[in-house]
Structure 1
Amino acid sequence: MRDIMCKSNLTRSLNAMRRLFPDEYDFYPKTWFLPEQTEQFQNDARSIHKKDQSRRRPLTTFIVKPSDGSEGEGIFLIQDSTRCTMVNRPYIIQEYVDRPLLINGLKFDMRIYVLILKLDPLEVLLYDEGLARFATVEYQAPSKKNLHESFMHLTNYSLNKRSANYKHASDEKQTDASKRKLNVVWSQLGQLFSPSEIEQTKEMIEDMINKTVLAILPELRIQYTLELPMTRKQNQCFQIIGFDIILTDQLKPMLLEVNANPSLCIDFDHVNEAGKYVHELSPIDEEIKKPLVLETLKLVIRRRNQSRSNARGYKAMSNRPFRNFASICGIIDESITMPSIDLLYIQIFNKCKEYASQSPATGLNFSAFVEAFFLVAQRKYPTSSSLLEIVTELVESCIHHLDLVVDESL
C-alpha cells in the first residue's frame, strides 16, 4: 500500500486516468517527474510563464516534493525552472495552488480519513470527522521574497509545530488553534458561504476520494492477492488512509496527496517552562482518532467471517507473460509484430527501472503495464480520435479473444 500511495506512483495512476477522463480527474495539480521529465518541465514552465506575462498576471509558482518524502521534509517552492537541473533523488514538481481559501488570513489543509474495508467487492467508508492543519504565518501570494517561508506556504503539522506562532488546542472546540476538528472548520466556513455551497464542496470531496480509490484499485488488488496466499483467509485486510486536501478560494477541493499510514498518535511533544521536552495528550487528536480506530475495529470484527477470495495476482509482469498477453489477446498482426512487443517491453521496463523509487524485481508493475497498454492501443488504432476510444476498443478486442480461448478450452 505504501508503495502505491507514494507521490510518484499515485501521480502515475491519476495521470493515466486523467489521460482517459480529463474532465473527471481535474482535482490534482499538473505534475512532472524529476529527473525523468526535467527537460519537459523546463519547457512547459517557460511556456506557462509566457502566458502569465501575456495576461499580465504573477508568474506561476511550482512546488517541489521528494517522491519518497514525508512530514514536509525536503519540500520547497520555485518560480525559476532552471533550479531543478540537479537532483540527487526522485522528485515530483507541481503547479502550486496559489489562491487557497483562508481562514483569518491563514492557509490550511484538511486531513480526511478513509477506510478501505474490502477490495472485492470494493467497500470504502468515509469517516465523518477529520483534522484541519493550519499554517502559522499569515498567507501572502508567492513571490521571490517569500518563497522560503515554510510556515506560510506549507501546512504540515510536523513543520508548523516548530513555529513560535503554533497554537496547541486546549479542547476540541477551539476555533483559533493550529490544528482543529474538521467540523469546527466547516462551521467557520458556513459563516462565509451558503449551506448549498458547503454541501457541494463536500460532495466534490467524496467524488474525488471515490475516483482516486478507483485509480489505484487495480494495483491494490494485484498486491493484495500477491501478499495473501490461497492457504490463508483473504478479505480480512483493511487499511485507514489519509487524504490531504486543500480548498481554493472558490471552494474547489484539490488533492495534495494520499497517506497510506496517517498518524494515529494522540499526544504531542513540546518544550515546557523548564526547557525540557515533554509529551502530553492532545485533546483534539484524542477526540478524533480514538473513535476512528474503535469504529474501524467494530466494522472489521463484524465482517470477519466473509468468504475467501479465489483471485490470484502477480506483483510484476515479466517478458514471457507480456508476450503471452499480446498473443492470446489478438494484438499481434501485420502492424504489431512480436519483436516490436519485445522492444516495447524492454523500453518500458528500462524506463521503470531507471526512475522508479524501487526498481521492479521481475518486470512491469501495474502502472508500467498501463503505460505499455496505452502505447499498444495507439499503435494498433492510429486513426482514432481520442485515447479513451482506442483504449476501449483494445480492451473490448482483448475480452473477445479471451472469450474465444475460454470457449475452445471447454
Structure 2
Amino acid sequence: MLENQMLQFLNSDFQQFTQQDKQDKQDENTETEVPNNSQRQMRVKSFEEKPANKPLNLIFQMLLQKKTQKRQQIKVDPKSIPLSINLSVQVQELPIIRKIMEKNEWKKAHNFDGDILWCGPDNVQQAKQFTYDFAMVFMNQCISRIPGAKLISTKKETTSIMDKMRQYFPSIYNFYPKTYTMPEDLHEFIEDFEKKDGISYIAKPDKGTQGQGIFIVSQIEDFNGIAIIRNYIIQEYISNPLLLDDKKFDFRLYVLITSLKPLIAYINEEGLARLCTENYQDITSSNLSNVYMHLTNYSLNKNSQNFIIHPPDFQKINLGTKRTYTSAKKTLMKMGIDVPKLKLRIEQTIVRFLYGIAPFLLNSTREIYQDKWEKANCFHVIGFDILIDRDLKPWIIEINANPSLEITQVVQNSNGSKRVETSSLDAYVKTKVIEDAFIIAVKTPQEQIEQIGKGKYCNSYKMIIDGQPPIENLDLFYKLVDLFSNLCGLRYGNLNQMRFCRLANNPQLVNDLLIKSDYDLIYKKIQLKSLQPDLSFLGFLEAIESISEKLLKRKASNYTLQKAVTYVVNTALKAPQQQQRPLTAKR
C-alpha cells in the first residue's frame, strides 16, 4: 500500500516538476525560483501530517530544494556559434558527429583548416600521429585529444598512477579498489589473497573493452592461469553494491578536460545508468560465473533475455536496463537516497582523480609540444564508470579515454529477427556530451574561468575545477613536472645522467648519507631497470624518492615519503623557505 502511495505521489509531482523544468529551460541566464512556493510549502506541511507518508518527506524536500535553489547557468544556442569541424584524421566517421554538425549547421573543414580537429576514438593513439610535427601543423585548431591519453586508456597505466597517489595521499585516494597488475604483482596478490579471507576479485584484460575476458574469482583455484601469464589487472570486488530494482548497477559519467595548466574540468549533468539483468545475490560458488548478475557492462547484458529496452519517455522512472543518469536519480530519490549528497560525493571523487592524473597528462603534453606546450590547444572527453556501495561511497571502477559514442541498438522483431535502429536515449545523452564540449572547448581557458566559473553550468556541463591550485599538497606532482622540465632543458622528456646529477650541486641535497657519487648510482640503477637510455618522468620520480629516503629517513622523526619528497622538490626548485616545511631532525 505504501509503495502504491509513493508511486502515485511521485508520478503526479514529477509531472508537475517536469513541466516546470521545461519552463525553466527557457531562461537564457539562470534558473529562477519556482512560483507559488508558499503553496508548495503548505502542501509539504499537510503531507507530513500523514504518518504513512513519512518515508516520502525526504523525497519531497529534495524536490522542493532543487526547484527553489538558483542554478547559475550560461545557455548557449549551438546554432549561434558558426563552428567548422575538421574530420580529416579520424579513422571512421561517427554518425553522432555528422548528426551534430547537420543539426547546428556546422561546416566541415578540410586540410589544415577548421575550429576543431576531431580525431575520433583511438585514432591518434593507434596511428601514433600525435608527434611534434602533427601538433605544430594543427596548432591553430582545437584538438579533441590530450597527449598521453594512454595513461587513462589502459588499466595498468591508470592503476600504477592511482597506486602512486595512494602511496602519497592514502586518506584522499581511497576511492579506487585495490588493484594488482599481472604478472608484475603476482606474489603480492597471492600474499594478500591468503590474508583476506572472504574477499572476491574481478580479473580484467589490460586493454579489454565491452566486458570481454572478464571473470570473477573467490578462491585461488578459480584461476585458470590466463590472468597470471597475460596482461591482466585483478581488482577487489565491491561486494556491497547499492541496488536499483534489486539489481547491481553503475554510472557512466562524462568529464570534459579543456586545460591542464591551469587545470579546468567539467562534469556533464547527464550520463548513463547501466543495470545487470538478474537480481543481485552475494557471490557464491554457484553464481560466480553469472555475468548477468555481477557485471554491469551493457555489451554483455544486451544479450540477456531479461534485457529491457528503454521506453520512449526515458527521462521518467522506468525499468529499462540502460537508463539516463537523471532517471536513475529519480529512482534513488524514490528509495529515500539523499541524491544531492551522493552527487557531491561523486563530484569530489572525480575532482581528486583529476588532480592526481593531470600532472602525468601535462608531462605527456610537454613531451609532444616541447617549448610550445603552453600553446597546446587540446580537450578530451573521458568516461568514468562509477559504482556506489550501500554506504553511498562512490568507487571509480574504470576510466575510459575513448568512451563509446555509439547511438544505435539492436532490437528483436516479433518474428525473432533483429534490426539495428537509433537509440533515442544514447543519442540524447551523447549529443549533449559532444555538442556542448565543442561549444566550451573553443573558448580560451581565461574565457572559461571568467565567463563560466566553478560550480556554474554552460549548457549541460558544470565546471568542477576552475584552474585554482589543488589543496592538501596535491600540487606536489605539478612541482615534480616543473623540476623535471628544469633539469631536461630544451629537450623535454629526455633526462640524461649529467643533467640529473646537477641536483647534487645543491648543498642542501647532500649529506654524510648521500654524497654526489650516489646520484650517479641512483640514476644507473633506474636506467638499467627501465632499459631506456634516459630517465622518463616516472623514472625520475623513482629517483627523487630514492634521494629523499637516503637524505632524510634516518634524520627525521616525522618522516613520510610525501613530506620527504616535498622537501627535496621544494629545495631543488629553490622555493621560499616558508613553503619548504623541513622535517624535524631527531635529537
Instruction: Please say whether Structure 1 and Structure 2 have the same fold, judged by a TM-score greater than 0.5.
Output: yes
Counterpart pick for 1:78 among 211, 217, 233: 217
How many residues align? The count is: 382
The yes-or-no answer on 1:397 pairing with 2:571 is yes
| Structure 1 residue 2 displacement after superposition | 3.1
Instruction: Write the distance in 2 (CA, Å) between the matches of 1:376 and 1:352.
Output: 18
Contact 2:370 2:492 in 1 (8 A): no
The counterpart of 1:185, out of the listed 319, 325, 328, is 328
Structure of greater relative contact order (alpha carbons < 8 Å, 6+ residues apart): 1
Q: CA deviation at 1:192?
A: 1.9
Q: Which is worse superposed, 272-281 or 40-49?
A: 272-281
Q: Structure 1 residues 350, 230: CA separation in 2 closer, same or farther (over 3 Å shift)?
A: closer
**Equivalent residues of 1:170, 1:283 under 8 A apart:** no
Please give the alpha-carbon distance, in whole angstroms, between the structure 1 residues aligned to 2:362 and 2:373.
Answer: 16
Cα distance, 1:344–1:91 mapped onto 2, change above 3 Å: farther
- Structure 2 vs 1, CA of residues 401 and 120 (structure 1 numbering), >3 Å: closer, same or farther? closer
Q: Residue type matched to 1:31 in 2? A: T
Structure of larger gyration radius? 2
Q: Please give the secondary structure, in 2, of the residue aligned with 1:212.
A: helix
- Higher mean alpha-carbon deviation, 81-90 vs 210-219, is at 81-90
Q: CA deviation at 1:327?
A: 5.0
Q: Which amino acid aligns with 1:398?
A: A
Which AA in structure 2 matches 1:178?
T
2:546 partner amino acid: L
CA distance in 2, matches of 1:41, 1:313: 39
Separation in 1, partners of 2:184, 2:374: 41
Confirm whether residue 2 of structure 1 aligns to residue 141 of structure 2: no
Is contact 1:317-1:364 (8 Å) kept? yes
Q: 1:374 to 1:134 in 2, by over 3 A?
A: same
Give the direction of change, closer, same or farther, for the CA distance of 1:147–1:124 in structure 2 (3 Å limit). Answer: same
The match for 1:278 among 408, 411, 419 is: 419
Partner of 2:276: 135
Aligned to 2:124: none
Matching of residue 381 in structure 1 with residue 555 in structure 2: no
Question: What is the Cα-based RMSD across aligned positions, in Å?
Answer: 2.9
Q: Structure 1 residues 392, 131: CA separation in 2 closer, same or farther (over 3 Å shift)?
A: same
Once the two structures are overlaid, the 10-residue window that deviates more, 285-294 or 162-171, is 162-171
Which structure 2 residues correspond to residues 128-277 of structure 1 after superposition, within 5 A? 128-171=269-312, 172-173=314-315, 175-194=318-337, 197-228=338-369, 234-273=375-414, 277=418
Per-residue deviation, residues 263-284 of structure 1 (Å, max 9, x unmatched): 1121123454565553211011
- CA drift of 1:313 comes to 7.3
Residue 45 in structure 1 maps to residue 219 in structure 2: no
Residue of structure 2 in register with 1:288 after alignment: 429
Q: Residue 252 of structure 2 corresponds to which residue in structure 1?
A: 111
Query: What SS does the aligned partner of 1:400 have?
Result: coil
- Tell me the TM-score normalised to structure 1 length: 0.84
SS of 1:394 mapped into structure 2: helix
The 3-state SS of whatever aligns with 2:334 is coil
Query: Which one-letter code corresponds to 1:322 in the other structure?
Result: F
Q: In the alignment, what sits opposite 2:541?
A: 370
Aligned-partner residue type, residue 149 of structure 2:
R
* Residue ranges of structure 1 left out of the alignment (5+ in a row): 50-58, 354-360, 404-410
Alpha carbons 1:9, 1:367 under 8 Å: kept: no
Decide which of 193, 199, 203 is 1:64's aligned counterpart. Answer: 203
Asked if 1 retains the 8 angstrom alpha-carbon contact of 2:204 and 2:215, the reply is yes
More displaced stretch, 101-110 vs 365-374:
365-374
Measure, in 1, the Cα distance between the counterparts of 2:507 and 2:247.
55
Aligned-residue offset at 1:88: 3.1
Structure-2-length-normalised TM-score: 0.60
Q: Which residue of 2 aligns with 1:55?
A: none
Change (3 A) 1:275 1:302: same
Distance 1:181 1:322, change over 3 A: same
Q: Offset at 1:334?
A: 3.5
Q: Distance in 2 between matches of 1:376 and 1:333?
A: 11
Task: Report the identity percentage.
Answer: 31
Kept in 1: contact 2:259–2:445 (CA 8 A)? no
Q: Contact 1:106 / 1:138 at 8 angstroms: preserved in 2?
A: yes
Q: Distance in 1 between matches of 2:494 and 2:373?
A: 22
Instruction: Tell me, in whole angstroms, the C-alpha distance in 1 between the residues paired with 2:491 and 2:405.
Output: 31
- Are residues 401 and 21 of structure 1, via their aligned partners in 2, closer, same or farther at CA, if it must alter by over 3 Å? closer
